[in-house]
Structure 1
């Protein structure tokens, strides 16, 4: 979660510095919110699985892996969203040097 928060802070700072548009801001906030929500749900699933099944069990592993997979999918969406949104502003900024 700390890594996701740090990444979100960097993304929001970059968006502010590069003056991205309102719609792009909405997509960035959506992507960050989805990742944070998935991370919180992953934490909840892991806590419940550990409570119900303190010993190793194949179904417990599947539940934890599925919850972690949800975080991975939302993080992938966030990366793709960021690449699409920042591509033009970053290339414009780099070409101005």
Structure 2
């Protein structure tokens, strides 16, 4: 079962998912703090390089299956042209209307 993006609880996370699915890198980056960080499968990565390689240059798309923690944790089917489709978990730290950190990895 997929949760419609418009139904996601946290408005910042909702706009971030919309930016991913709309392939709108500028909107995505605009939702991050200037010092935002991220990790993939437990390893910190260079955020700008990662979002280009895994999301925006690779046709990334997220279908949310479940949300928890006030909408800051998502279980989602994520797919891109490099890795295909996989079950992933995303955790977002949201402060003052921006994401300061997100962590993702296989579920």
Which has the larger Rg? 1
Greater helix fraction, Structure 1 or Structure 2: 1
Q: TM-score, normalised by structure 1?
A: 0.32
Structure with higher strand content? 2
Q: TM-score, normalised by structure 2?
A: 0.30
Tell me which of the two structures has the higher relative contact order, counting C-alpha pairs closer than 8 angstroms and 6 or more residues apart: 1
